Structure 1
């Protein structure tokens, strides 16, 4: 009981508690993950169009992109964005006479890094979903004279989304876990805040346990959201027995 009381005081919202800081850091984790996931959706959609293109060069570039980004460690991608972006900003600053180091914004670095990495996985999800769409439905839309954009908006996109949601849910969970790596750039997200608190109080177990609980809560809520999205997009669809 003494441990529980001490633990609740430590992570509480009182004057000596770290509760608000942990919740703020959790919100930062969710924020950078959402931005990275959305950026990955945009980039992944473009890569999917390239994969399905009739031009061999575009297909080759898309395959290279997905192969490289899925094969390179995510932490290395983060470092490349951070130091590469900082070098670029330093070059721009040098044009105006500034000689110091200009660091790449940590949140922007995380968004870009998570975006380009998750895009490689989302592109494969979208391509697989497109391959699952019955050819007859697409041919029917063409047969009635539907133009490409209305065909994509009314037929292709809803059907692809229906098949892609389970895979996108898995990709989201991957992005959420990868967001912990952004702490190396100085972004105070959940893991980084837990490290700071553990170092200040010399009670690492309590704070890392709290981080585990918060990650699991976000994961649980995310699973509910994706399950409801999947149920909504499959309303009226006859399932195989």
Structure 2
């Protein structure tokens, strides 16, 4: 009597056809690219937003408060759909008013922009809290020595607030890696979308979604290693809490 067919066909994960392993890895690379780009953009927006909220004028503070409140209140999936479709449409409308031809925005650029806008709102609040945690005496001493505002920011404020900001920023990085999965709804070929395509084609849903989960877990574990290294370096010289 012949042995029954195996429950899981592991050959479907092979890197060469008919395996889908290379497709999954390509989707993972796309997810990492979007996560890095979106996180970097969000960090830039967060730095500007945090300093604007703390040291900007009343109009700027109100605008930034509206930005952070709206983005954090609306579900991220809704924001992604709104920014991806409405944002692209608005850009092309402005291009048309300027007499320029419509542009075809790549999925990678749109994904980075969408994730960056969402990350920027959260980064603003994380960095604002970290800046406020810096002892005011350090900033006052720097000003007393005649440092310019730019030098105070680059040499005192930013280095001193890093130990307070890194835990929150590391969580935002992990959130960014998972938020890339939401871009599957707009058709971008990141890990979740290609996993769904592979599972739908082969009907091996358990195999491919478990494989995707393992890849996301591996990305998180590797990220945690680098985050720990960065955090230890940022906290060097600080007294350990009792």
> What's the counterpart of residue 6 of structure 2?
2
Instruction: Work out the CA distance in 2 between the residues paired with 1:85 and 1:65.
Output: 16
Deviation at 1:88, TM superposition (A): 3.4
**Runs of 4+ with >6 A deviation:** none
* Structural mapping, 1:127-166, within 5 Å: 127-166=128-167
Runs of 5+ unmatched residues, structure 1: none
SS in 1 for 2:156: helix
Deviation at 1:89, TM superposition (A): 5.1
Instruction: Work out the CA distance in 1 between the residues paired with 2:124 and 2:75.
Output: 18
Cα shift readout 1:125-152 (whole Å, capped 9, x = no counterpart):
1011011111111111112111211221
Instruction: Give the length in aligned residue pairs.
Output: 236
Instruction: Work out the CA distance in 2 between the residues paired with 1:25 and 1:15.
Output: 16
Instruction: Work out the CA distance in 1 between the residues paired with 2:218 and 2:119.
Output: 22
167-176 or 81-90, larger mean C-alpha shift: 81-90
Deviation at 1:79, TM superposition (A): 1.5
* Structural mapping, 1:80-229, within 5 Å: 80-88=82-90, 90-91=92-93, 92=95, 95=99, 104-229=105-230
Instruction: Work out the CA distance in 2 between the residues paired with 1:56 and 1:89.
Output: 29
> What's the counterpart of residue 57 of structure 2?
55
Cα shift readout 1:11-37 (whole Å, capped 9, x = no counterpart):
122332111111111010010011000
Give me the CA root mean square deviation: 1.9
Alpha carbons 2:16, 2:22 under 8 Å: kept: no
154-163 or 83-92, larger mean C-alpha shift: 83-92
Match for 2:43 among 41, 44, 54?
41
Deviation at 1:90, TM superposition (A): 4.5
Matched, 1:27 2:26: no
TM-score normalised over the length of structure 1? 0.91
Cα separation, partners in 2 of 1:184 and 1:54, compared to 1, 3 Å: closer
* Structural mapping, 1:64-79, within 5 Å: 64-79=66-81
Cα shift readout 1:71-114 (whole Å, capped 9, x = no counterpart):
0111121122222233235433695688xxx7542212211111
